[in-house]
Amino acid sequence: MKTNKKLITGNLRCNFVKLSDIILMTFLLLTQTFVFSQNASDNKCLECHKRTVKKHILHGPVAADCTSCHKPTGKEHPLEDVEGFAFLEEGANLCFTCHDQEKNTIINNKYVHKPVSRGECTECHEVHSSNDSKLIFTKSPDLCFFCHDKIESAIEESAVVHLPATEIDGCIGCHSPHSSPQKKLLVSKPKELCLSCHDKTLTKGDRQITNIGKLLKESRVVHPALKKSCNACHDPHASNNKYLLTIAYPLGNYAKGTEENYELCFGCHDTDLLLLERTKYATEFRNGDLNLHYLHVNKEKGRTCNNCHNLHGSSREHLIPETIKFGNWNMPLVYKSFEDGGSCKGCHEERRYTR
């Protein structure tokens, strides 16, 4: 089979030197089926088993020699209710007689896809012919949804969907289909994986998504929730909340100061920040024992967290940004830190607090 491909390529180079790479690749793909069929036509098994080669791409052993996988039992074949052939190995061990490099990778990885660990390669792959170069039944995400139907339902029913979750082969951009050293079969560490796309400004419709990679690199202080993973706040597949947030969060400048509104934050932070008017332990942002978080947030028209904090990272301590979005205005936020407190100017004239 390899000799035939080289011969075809050689002929093409001789006869069509000035053809573009795209035309050359198209020709090779169109002739691949012909090459397989040429070899397959010499295979006596296929006189009866024509249906096994009806798709465009053949598994290599099918085109060359069926006895690569099937061994004769010595019984006459074909006869009804008589097994004339048996597998050389059972389950995945048969696949690994050729795909030994993949086997070594799987053995060395901590997390293995369940069908692979059970030796059920045929849950995803066709063994004789396929319309896909990797011999899978269909492309992801549809292939993945055969088992992962809950994620399919979430994608169908959610208001906001992560774009890769719906793209052809989008699943394998984030997840290894066989095995991985990372949980959830991720292809790299969670934070690195997210930043492999979010290291640039992305455009979605009329909205621009911030270059988070650049922001974090330039930040002196990074939100601790982001140190390992983005999933503490964002769902990687789909959500009914804006920005794929796992829990609804008031994204404007004002919101009612209730625990329910800030449930996302209180997954990590203590509710005393919001609920205690007077405290000497719940926060460093206080004037004496007057809790200034309570003062700003706990009211009918409270200020939301993102008025004073960048939720990803900042060049200033306490995640305090240099400007905040107030309508169409990027309002300067002048913050100074002192040993016993600090001062702030932006929404109001400069005011100082001391602990």
Q: Three-class SS string for the chain?
A: CHHHHHHHHHHHHHHCCCCCHHHHHHHHHHHHHHHHHHHHCCCHHHHCCHHHHCCCEECHHHHHCHHHCEEECCCCCCCCCCCCEEECCCCHHHHHCCCHHHHHHHHHCCEECHHHHCCCHHHCECCCEECCCCCECCCCCHHHHCCCHHHHHHHHHCCEECHHHCCCCCHHHHECCCEECCHHHECCCHHHHHHCCCCCCEEECCEEECCHHHHHHHCCEECHHHCCCCCCCECCCEECCHHHECCCCCCCCEECCCCCCCCCHHHCCCCHHHHCCECCCCCCCEECCEEHHHHHHCCCCEECHHHCCCCCEECCHHHCCCEEEECCEEEECEEEEECCEEEEECCCCCEEEEC
pLDDT (0 to 100) of residue 42: 58
- Residue 28: pLDDT above 80? no
Provide mean pLDDT across the span 344-352: 94
Flag whether 24 is in a domain.
Answer: no
Q: Which of 132, 150, 169 is the last residue of a domain?
A: 132
Flag whether 312 is in a domain.
Answer: yes
- Residue 36: pLDDT above 60? no
Percentage of the chain beyond pLDDT 70 is 88
- Residue 108: pLDDT above 70? yes
- In which band, very low, low, confident or very high, does the pLDDT at 294 lie, cut at 50, 70 and 90? very high
Q: Which of 197, 220, 245 is the last residue of a domain?
A: 245
Residues 287 and 233 in one domain: no
- Residue 215: pLDDT above 60? yes
Residues 240 and 251 in one domain: no
Number of domains observed in the structure of the chain: 3
Provide mean pLDDT across the span 212-221: 95
Residues 232 and 170 in one domain: yes
Flag whether 236 is in a domain.
Answer: yes
Residues 259 and 309 in one domain: yes
Q: What is the pLDDT of residues 149-201, one digit of tens each?
A: 999 999 999 999 999 999 999 999 999 999 999 999 999 999 999 999 999 99
Flag whether 12 is in a domain.
Answer: no
Q: What is the pLDDT of residues 121-142, one digit of tens each?
A: 999 999 999 999 999 999 999 9
Q: For residue 157, what are the domain limits? A: 138-245
Residues 323 and 285 in one domain: yes
Q: Which of 230, 245, 260 is the last residue of a domain?
A: 245
Residues 342 and 306 in one domain: yes
pLDDT (0 to 100) of residue 39: 46
Residues 99 and 190 in one domain: no
> Which pTM was predicted?
0.80
